[in-house]
C-alpha cells in the first residue's frame, strides 16, 4: 500500500539514493532538509533542485538558532575544513553535539503530523567509527523511543546502515540515478573542490564502482 514517508534529505549522495529508493518502492516521500547554519547553501540548493526535478514535496527548515547551543563544529563554524581522507582526529572536529537526535526528533514530529509511519535517514557504515549517532545501536534505541513518544508509532529506517558509501553508490547506479544532482563538497564554490575529505571519498566511491562522477570538479 502506498504510504507517506519522511526522508531526511541533505542534498548529498546517500540521502539522494534513499529518496529515490522510497519513490521506486511506491511510497510518497516528504523530503526534509535542515538549514543549520552550514557555511554554504550549496547542498540545500542541490536538494531543492533535485526535489523539483523528481516532483517531490520538499521543506527546508531553518534551525540555525540552535548553533547558539551546539556550536563548535567545522561544518558550521569558521574552523578550517580538514583536507584529505577521513582521519579520526580531523573527522572528530566535524562531530556536532547530538546532531542526529535533534534532526530525527523533528523529522519524527513531522511524520506524526502528516501521518507518515516511517522516517528515512542515510546512516552508513563508514560513519560508525566517528559518529556515535550513526550506529545501529543508536537507531535501535531511538526506535524504542519513537514507539512510545506519540500516539502514533514512527519507525526510523536506515536502509544503508550496514553498507559503505561505495555500496550505496553501487545500488544507486543500478537504479540509474543521476548523481550530478547531488552535492558533497564541504566547500561552497561554483565547482566541487575535489580535495576535501568528502570529495575524495565521493571520487573514490565512483572509482571503486568503475564509474565516472558526472559532477564538475575544479581540477
| Contact residues: its own copies, CB under 8 A | 32, 59, 61-63, 65-66, 68-72, 95-102, 104-106, 108-110, 112-113, 132-133, 135, 137-138, 141-142, 144-146, 148-151
Minimum Å gap between C-beta 144 and its own copies is: 5
Minimum Å gap between C-beta 69 and its own copies is: 4
Cβ closest to its own copies, residue 102 vs residue 161? 102
55 Rama sector, left if φ>0, alpha if ψ -120 to 50, beta otherwise:
left
Cβ closest to its own copies, residue 23 vs residue 130? 130
Minimum Å gap between C-beta 162 and its own copies is: 18
**Residue indicated by cell numbers 553501487:** 170
How many CA atoms within 13 Å lie on the side-chain side of 208?
A: 14
Tell me if residue 192 falls in helix, strand or coil: strand
CA dist 139 and 20 (Å) reads: 21
Cβ closest to its own copies, residue 59 vs residue 85? 59
Minimum Å gap between C-beta 93 and its own copies is: 13
Q: 36-74 b/e with 16+ CB inside 10 Å = b? A: bbbeeebbbebbbebbeeeebebebeeeeebeeeeeebb
Cβ closest to its own copies, residue 111 vs residue 198? 111
Tell me if residue 196 falls in helix, strand or coil: strand
Minimum Å gap between C-beta 152 and its own copies is: 9
Cβ closest to its own copies, residue 137 vs residue 190? 137
Amino acid at each position: 500500500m502506498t504510504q507517506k514517508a519522511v526522508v531526511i534529505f541533505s542534498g548529498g549522495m546517500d540521502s539522494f539514493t534513499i529518496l529515490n529508493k522510497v519513490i521506486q518502492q511506491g511510497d510518497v516521500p516528504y523530503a526534509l532538509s535542515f538549514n543549520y547554519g552550514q557555511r554554504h547553501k550549496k547542498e540545500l540548493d542541490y536538494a531543492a533542485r533535485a526535489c523539483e526535478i523528481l516532483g517531490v514535496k520538499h521543506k527546508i527548515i531553518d534551525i540555525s538558532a540552535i548553533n547558539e547551543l551546539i556550536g563548535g563544529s567545522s561544518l558550521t563554524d569558521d574552523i578550517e575544513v580538514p583536507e584529505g581522507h577521513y582521519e579520526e582526529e580531523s573527522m572528530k572536529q566535524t562531530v556536532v553535539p547530538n546532531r542526529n537526535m535533534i534532526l530525527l526528533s523533528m523529522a519524527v514530529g513531522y511524520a506524526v503530523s502528516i501521518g507518515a509511519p516511517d522516517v528515512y535517514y542515510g546512516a552508513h557504515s563508514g560513519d560508525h567509527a566517528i559518529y556515535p549517532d550513526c550506529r545501529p545501536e543508536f537507531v535501535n534505541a531511538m526506535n524504542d523511543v519513537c514507539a512510545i513518544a506519540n500516539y502514533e508509532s514512527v519507525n526510523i529506517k536506515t536502509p544503508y546502515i550496514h553498507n559503505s558509501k561505495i555500496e550505496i553508490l553501487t545500488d544507486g547506479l543500478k537504479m540509474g540515478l543521476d548523481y550530478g544532482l547531488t552535492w558533497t563538497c564541504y566547500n561552497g564554490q561554483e565547482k566541487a573542490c575535489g580535495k576535501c575529505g568528502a570529495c575524495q571519498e565521493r571520487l573514490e566511491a565512483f572509482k571503486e564502482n568503475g564509474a565516472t562522477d558526472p559532477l564538475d570538479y575544479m581540477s
